[in-house]
Structure 1
Amino acid sequence: MIIDSHQHFWKYEPTKHAWIDDEMSAIRKDFLPSQLQKVYQENGIDGCVAIQADQTINETDFLLELSNDFDFIKGIVGWVDLRNKNIDATLDTYSHHKNIKGFRHVVQGEADHNFLLRPNFLGGISSLEKYEYTYDILIFPHQLGATLEFVKKFPNQKFVIDHIAKPYIKDGFYDGWAILMKKLAKYENVFCKLSGMITEADYNNWTPKQIEPYINLVLESFGAERLIFGSDWPVCLVAGNYAKVKSLTTNFIAKLSADEQKKIMGTNAIKFYNL
């Protein structure tokens, strides 16, 4: 079974989706399950995990509703305000919905480089384990140092790093990112998504050869046991199409055993998110 561990849905609104800049104008429109279902049929994908793109409770409820209506959405990662002192009550309410597998905060958008280490945020993370919720870590490379200190504090919490921590592939930024990713990978509760890579490269001129050193580093560091395939659809459409995104990963891992390939393309996502 092939699972896409990372994709988004939205009804486009210019204010809400202001992060979609002029270079990304191709995705300034609605993206809903009926469209993705066709893409999955063309590319042999069996199911997905829908990830929040907006930081509101409404977003979580929107994704939850879609997952109830479309069976191929096997789980969702929503948003709640993990800094809220009443977070336990919110998590308890959502715990009755089996399709909610975890939560995410857009930490990459926080001006505070040490946002992950603030006491109120740490308090929210400490509540996730009780409900067996996962946490998706969305960061830029300059936040990797804080992320390392962050994951040390929660040895039993299931974490996954989105988009291999968004290295600046277009600028050839590698060594600083690689050193800290290797350190993060030493924590066995931390997984990593093979997703969002082509949009960190040059949208129009990227090649698999440019991206392979980054995939190789996370494969060596996390191993086939803790890597998870994700498309980042529809964001990926600004730099390619679904088939190109999928083949970037499948071509690279073709050298691995059949069992390792199955893990990366589906089994690990099922295990991590309890699908």
Structure 2
Amino acid sequence: MTGIDAHVHLWDPGLHDHGWLRSAGELNRPRLLDDLGAAAGPVTAVAVQAGRTVDEARWLLGLAACSPRIAGVVIHADLADPAAVDMIDALRAEDGGSALVGVRDPVGAGDGARLGLPQVRRSLAALGERGLAVDLLLGHGTLREACAAAGDLPQVRFVVDHGAISAVDVRRDGLGEWAAQLTPLGRLPHVVCKLSGLGRATAGPGGVSRDAVARVLLDVFGPRRLAFGSDWPVSTQWSPYEDVVGAAARMLGGLTADEATAVWGGTAVEAYGLDPAAAAIDTRMTTRQGEH
């Protein structure tokens, strides 16, 4: 069941240049709201940046202004740029700007130290003052720096994308080191986590157990600070949408009704300041099963 899918992507390579898509095979074509509807049914979602331009941000906000199926938009901003917050303020003042609920500045492998840069810290603090969430997409070796930044900024709502599963080479090293590095971040009460984007680490030969990943995330964050996200359409490289939902439903099958409501929508509402009506549970999703 899902009230809000807290992590989907929409893109059109004909409108915006997403360099990474050029080598992404089948993903390198438009993925629009109609495509999401065909895959997922009448889901309400948070649309997360796939590119790094203001034009893409305006495009996503325009889509949100035209469709109640987009509950909010997480845009890209270079938080090391002193002009980043002014750009964000300008977008929020434009038509459709009220849908801007979060900002993401991906931290790649080897870039973790930038989370300690004075300008980045000033930008993060400014986003907290504006009530905007900060999504953390963390590359290899960046979990400790993310924990330090979040620990120093308790006024900022941080959202850990994809369980930070790419911050440690879990296929090579197993889940122990990932869990050890994730735990201090997950114990911070202003940090929530998305149960999303696990296919890269769990699918195929050598993949870690999806259930074991879920058990760690439930232990570290608790169900009331977890949010379901499909990571569609990136997730289609490993599983159809309904199987992603079904696998999550199976992993979360032991939760109470209130805990399940949090994962399937309530956590996203709180983290992003969304309209609570957007989190109404679609009970049809409880019957979708999958093993991926």
TM-score between both structures, scaled by the size of structure 2: 0.85
Say whether residues 1:89 and 2:86 are aligned partners. Answer: yes
- Structure 2: gaps of 5 or more residues: 275-292
Correspondence for 1:272: 271
**Following the alignment from structure 1 to structure 2, what is the Cα–Cα distance between the partners of residues 150 and 264?**
25
8 Å contact from structure 1 (residues 47, 73) kept in 2 = yes
8 Å contact from structure 1 (residues 95, 131) kept in 2 = no
One-letter code of the match for 1:244? D
8 Å contact from structure 1 (residues 26, 237) kept in 2 = no
Residue 260 of structure 1 deviates from its aligned partner by 0.8
Counting only pairs closer than 5 Å after superposition, residues 242-261 of structure 1 correspond to structure 2 as: 242-261=241-260
Residue 228 of structure 1 deviates from its aligned partner by 0.3
One-letter code of the match for 1:100? L
Residue 172 of structure 1 deviates from its aligned partner by 5.0
CA 1:105/1:88 → structure 2, altered by over 3 Å: closer, same or farther? closer
- Structure 1: gaps of 5 or more residues: none
1:46 counterpart SS class: coil
Correspondence for 2:54: 57
Work out the percentage of aligned pairs sharing the same amino acid.
26
Correspondence for 2:279: none
Counting only pairs closer than 5 Å after superposition, residues 148-163 of structure 1 correspond to structure 2 as: 148-163=147-162
CA-based RMSD of the aligned residues comes to 2.1
**Following the alignment from structure 2 to structure 1, what is the Cα–Cα distance between the partners of residues 214 and 6?**
17
One-letter code of the match for 2:262? K
Correspondence for 2:289: none
Between the two proteins, the alignment pairs up a number of residues equal to 268
**Following the alignment from structure 2 to structure 1, what is the Cα–Cα distance between the partners of residues 30 and 232?**
12
Say whether residues 1:28 and 2:42 are aligned partners. Answer: no
CA 1:247/1:129 → structure 2, altered by over 3 Å: closer, same or farther? same
8 Å contact from structure 1 (residues 198, 206) kept in 2 = no
2:12 counterpart SS class: coil
> Deviation per CA, 1:192-246, whole angstroms, max 9, x where unpaired?
00000012233x4588x81111110110110011000000000001111101111
Correspondence for 1:235: 234
TM-score between both structures, scaled by the size of structure 1: 0.90
CA 1:205/1:12 → structure 2, altered by over 3 Å: closer, same or farther? farther
CA 1:10/1:46 → structure 2, altered by over 3 Å: closer, same or farther? closer
